Amino acid sequence: MSKPALGRGLGALLGGNPPLPPATAPLPAAAAVPDDRERVRRVPLNRVRPSPMQPRKDFSHESLKELADSIREQGIVQPLIVRERGGFYELIAGERRWRASQLLNLPEVPVIVREADDRSVLELALIENLQRENLNALEEALGYQQLAEQFQLTQEQIATKVGKSRAAVANATRLLKLPAPVQSYLRENRLSVGHAKVILGLPDDQHQIIAAERIIKDALNVRQTEGLVAKLLARPARLTNDNSKPKAIVPIDSNVARLEENLRAKFGTKVHLKYAHGKGALEIAFFNDDDLQRILEILNISAD
């Protein structure tokens, strides 16, 4: 079954409003818009506040400057969407336009005021950013996690709301299992999501950090990273958590290691392949019911 079109909720929120004239031009008479909920108002810029539920945390200064230049020439062609909160207007959609307006020191901005609860605000903020590909991988993952934890939504419900597959939501949230240094490398675009998925195949934070630093130092691509991870897994001894006593492991045949790594990348989780003389076993790890369902979907197996 296909997912709803991405941005359907955002389209309902924003749709039907003609572009605004430049900021210096007078607005059309409010009476021309019969539905008061659709009425564009001009409010002081200093009465607009960002939403604490905005999933996007990183805003490129260069990109904002370009947007500010455009607003200086053309005005704000799409009003900000806000809700009234404690005497101020809290943004639902349009934070980039609001930030660019601050760069220009605009006295006021056009807004449409809507009624929306916290859940709707977070959903619409996610949709807006995903639709415009403005979120980095970790911001996207944190948004999904917030929907799951704050509003008790399942991964299937989240996927339906944002127009993604369940597997995409599950794979995104797995990035939050990476240790903090590796998450920083990912946020700074020093590692790609492809790199991160491969690194997740390593058993602990220490090895994941070692792999990430090696990838950056040697500028490894994803295929080369798979080889690195296979070598790390095939080492004859691995330190325990107290960094004192080695724990012996059985060396892995290079071909088996490569196949095992390909399986890790495919399923996005830990995979252990035992193989000898044409026989063996395949173990695929999962960590909760949603994770198991994601793996079953990849295998095209129904849980029913």
Q: Among all residues, which ones are annotated catalytic?
A: 95
The dihedral sign for the CA sequence 262, 268, 272, 275: negative
Q: What are the DSSP E strand ranges found in the chain?
A: 41-44, 48-49, 80-85, 88-93, 108-113, 237-239, 246-248, 271-276, 279-284
Among the listed residues 123, 163, 161, the one whose alpha carbon sits nearest the alpha carbon of residue 143: 123
φ, ψ dihedrals at 275, nearest 5°: -145, 130
Reduced to 3 states (helix: H, G, I; strand: E, B; else coil), residue 13 is helix
DSSP state of 154: -
φ, ψ dihedrals at 198, nearest 5°: -70, -40
The CA distance from 175 to 162, in Å, is: 18
Tokens standing for residue 67: 């947007």
Tokens standing for residue 109: 């901005």
Among the listed residues 23, 26, 134, the one whose alpha carbon sits nearest the alpha carbon of residue 71: 23
The CA distance from 200 to 209, in Å, is: 10
The CA distance from 126 to 295, in Å, is: 25
Place of tokens 């080695």: 246
For the chain, the first-to-last Cα distance in angstroms comes to 16
| Amino acid found at 42 | R
71 in Cβ contact with 21 (< 8 Å): no
